[in-house]
Amino acid sequence: LDLSAEAYLIADNTREEEWCGAIEDALAQTKSKYAKLISRQLVGMLIVVYVKKDALNEVQEVTTTSIGCGLMGMVGNKGAVGIRLRFRDSYLCFINSHLAADAIQVQRRKQDYVEIVRRALFPNLALPANAQRPSSYSTASLTSYLPGSTQKYLGVFDNDHLIWLGDLNYRVSLPHHDVKKQLKQGSMDTLLEHDQLLQQRRVKSVFEGFEEGTITFPPTYKFDVGTNNYDTSEKQRTPSWCDRILWRSRSGAAKYIKQQRYSSHPELLSSDHKPVSAEFDVQVKTIIPEKQADVHASIIRELDKYENECMPDVKVSRLLIDFGQVRYEQSVTETIVIENIGQVTAQCRFIPKLQESNICKPWLWVNPPTTMLVPGDKATISMTLLVDAVSAPALNAGEDMLEDILILHLDNGKDFFVSVSASYIPTCFATSLERLVRLTKPVRAVDVAEMQLLPEENQLSMPREIWRIVDYLQLHAEHVPHLFMQAGNPYIMAYIRDCLDTGVEFEFDKLISEDAWPQNELSQEQAIDAGLPTSTTTVQLDLAQSVHAMAETLLRFLEALPEPVIPFDHYQRCLDAATMGKDAVLQTLETLPRIHMNVFIYLTAFLR
């Protein structure tokens, strides 16, 4: 597919049509007749489903999704495309992903995987038009799919079977010459012991619960195009199994899917990868409506009997939840356990408070918001607190607190009140420019009372946080290529944000040293804040990495501003002025609030 720079900005399905044409030409040589069902493309990722024509009427509820995980977590050079469908009465999901490249980016690949799982949502086409959801938030369930679910959107695990394929980019952690030597000796098992994906799966870091067939083919990357020779360029990339196919089934369904073949195709020479293919034998369900109705009616009779005999009763493990100290964009999860101590099935659900539409404040997610327990059964409810750019401004300004009371309602029973609280650590991120220039000390040194009574006089011309970042880039970024186009090292970004919030000077030796950057030099809080492990493994650091980290920090800082550098009510005026000449631009610029104008001039001067 087209991987040019224009492809990231302009949607073009020309290559998709060419691929579909080639596929259809190949399928035409088979005995069966196939028809294209649906496809989804995102830059260099394409997924297409073809179905035998005589089975088309058995395929329903077809939906697609795409997730960009590239620059700033949005650009589509990395990410995934997916298709979900119902074949007869089984739900099948197919994900084609392209994860972060580079041998050392194991953690980045994990982050891409987690992000795809979190953001890959499919509309629930089986949802009745008048169905009511227990709350207005749209978090996808990560539990097994339940027929009749009232979720508007379903995740990748809400299926009977999930097949995940693509360029996962996991490498063999051995030197290039060692790998080639082992390949010549036919020592595939030795190489597979150093395969990063197998290593990560063994420790349940990624793709937990997935299966993969036995790998009997040689590494599929990287080849000199047009040959079967591994990379002979100066980069000498290590031969690796980048291209993989894995699958996962819901609980109890694993026995209904069997992989019949898993192989590569070295005869194809048009790419630096060798394609990988697999063949599966899947048994699908067929629901018999009459029997389903009989079973349903029988269950209802039993439930009615129990309901008449006794009232539901549950025990909640705790009603006070303290998340402790939390930071901006740090996800923290606590759980409560609900146990049915009664004699009948108990239906529990969180409900909104009076005159409110949501069950909780926007910085809190509850999963699942509803549960059904048979007598003696227990359910674990996860409560995840995440302060993002939407909720952070009020918290940074001292106008809100991380406190809420949730109502857990037991149908035909009593209500339980769950109190949730946390201590928020303020940050300069998601703090307005007007507030930052009035600070006389770092944001972490300002208490709530001071934050609400900041002086109007002696304001800075612009936030010192922006000046510190740009000053570093001016000193060190001149000869670093691909500025603002390459993702930053998350460990360094955590360190930079901590320095900005506390006012601590950047330790330049640490930022630009050629020595390895130990993860344990980050505090545990910094590592958790960045979503990174707290182990003591190391990653290699150089000047370019520190510059890219500083550049991405600047982008994320600007992205999180409650009011952007060009305020919302000036946006259209600025767009119009851009087409009217220099004088119009200067006049429009003078209409901006002073702080916003200063920041705009400062940033554009730096970029020039």
What average pLDDT does this structure show over 150-165? 93
d(CA 235, CA 404): 55
CB 99 within 8 A of CB 68: no
Cα dihedral 75→80→85→89 (10° resolution) = -140
Measured CA to CA in angstroms, residue 231 lies from 44, 76, 170, 236 at distances of 22, 26, 17, 6
Helix axes 543-559, 490-502, angle to 10 degrees: 60
Measured CA to CA in angstroms, residue 17 lies from 7, 13, 23, 24 at distances of 15, 6, 10, 10
- Reported as a single tens digit per residue, the pLDDT across 7-34 is 544 456 778 999 999 999 999 999 999 9
Comparing 353-362, 438-447, 516-525, which segment has the lowest mean pLDDT? 516-525
Q: What is the 3-state secondary structure (H, E, C) of 194-257?
A: CEHHHHHHHCCCCCCCCEECCCCCCCCECECCCCCCECCCCCCCCCECCEEEEEEECCCCHHHE
d(CA 560, CA 501): 15
What pLDDT does 541 receive? Answer: 54
What average pLDDT does this structure show over 201-205? 96
What pLDDT does 315 receive? Answer: 96
What average pLDDT does this structure show over 252-281? 96
CB 121 within 8 A of CB 138: yes
Rank 196-210, 541-555, 585-599 by mean pLDDT and report only the highest.
196-210
Mean pLDDT of the chain: 87
CB 51 within 8 A of CB 6: no
Given a cut of 90, whether residue 536 has pLDDT beyond it is no
What average pLDDT does this structure show over 343-350? 92
* 3 state SS of 21: helix
Burial letters for 329-343: b for 16+ Cβ neighbours within 10 Å, e otherwise? bbebebebebbbebe
Given a cut of 50, whether residue 328 has pLDDT beyond it is yes
CB 445 within 8 A of CB 470: no
Domains of the chain plus CATH, in order, are 311-424 (2.60.40.10), 433-562 (1.10.555)
d(CA 58, CA 256): 18
d(CA 241, CA 169): 8
Nearest to 48 by CA among 103, 96, 113, 118: 96
As a whole number of Å, the CA-based R_g of the chain is 28
Q: What is the DSSP letter of 123?
A: E
Q: How many CB atoms lie within 10 A of CB 191?
A: 22
Given a cut of 60, whether residue 344 has pLDDT beyond it is yes
What average pLDDT does this structure show over 294-321? 88
Band of pLDDT at residue 43, cut at 50, 70 and 90: confident
Tokens of 543: 């000047």
Q: How far apart, in Å, do the first and last CA atoms of the chain sit?
A: 34
Instruction: Give yes or no for a cis peptide into 369 (omega within 30° of 0).
Output: no
What pLDDT does 22 receive? Answer: 93
Given a cut of 50, whether residue 140 has pLDDT beyond it is no
What pLDDT does 208 receive? Answer: 97
Band of pLDDT at residue 455, cut at 50, 70 and 90: low
What pLDDT does 10 receive? Answer: 45
Helix axes 594-607, 582-590, angle to 10 degrees: 140
Higher pLDDT, 77 or 363: 363
CB 249 within 8 A of CB 257: yes
| Cβ-based neighbours of 103, under 8 Å, separated by 6 or more | 171, 173, 196, 238, 240
Given a cut of 70, whether residue 134 has pLDDT beyond it is no
Determine phi and psi for 98, rounding to 5 degrees: -130, 105
Determine phi and psi for 381, rounding to 5 degrees: -105, 125
Tokens of 347: 């239906």
Run of H or E including 517: strand 516-518
d(CA 489, CA 100): 13
Band of pLDDT at residue 141, cut at 50, 70 and 90: very low
What pLDDT does 253 receive? Answer: 94
What pLDDT does 418 receive? Answer: 97
What average pLDDT does this structure show over 218-228? 96
Measured CA to CA in angstroms, residue 209 lies from 159, 311, 333, 379 at distances of 14, 38, 21, 20
What pLDDT does 138 receive? Answer: 35
- Reported as a single tens digit per residue, the pLDDT across 354-371 is 989 999 999 999 999 999
d(CA 4, CA 18): 17
pTM of the model: 0.50
What pLDDT does 477 receive? Answer: 87
Band of pLDDT at residue 70, cut at 50, 70 and 90: confident
| Percent of the chain scoring above 90 in pLDDT | 67
What average pLDDT does this structure show over 304-311? 76
What pLDDT does 14 receive? Answer: 75
* 3 state SS of 93: strand
d(CA 113, CA 132): 31
| Percent of the chain scoring above 70 in pLDDT | 87
CB 2 within 8 A of CB 15: yes
Distance of CA 546 to the CA centre of its chain: 24
Tokens of 488: 């930053």
- Reported as a single tens digit per residue, the pLDDT across 571-594 is 898 898 888 888 888 888 889 999
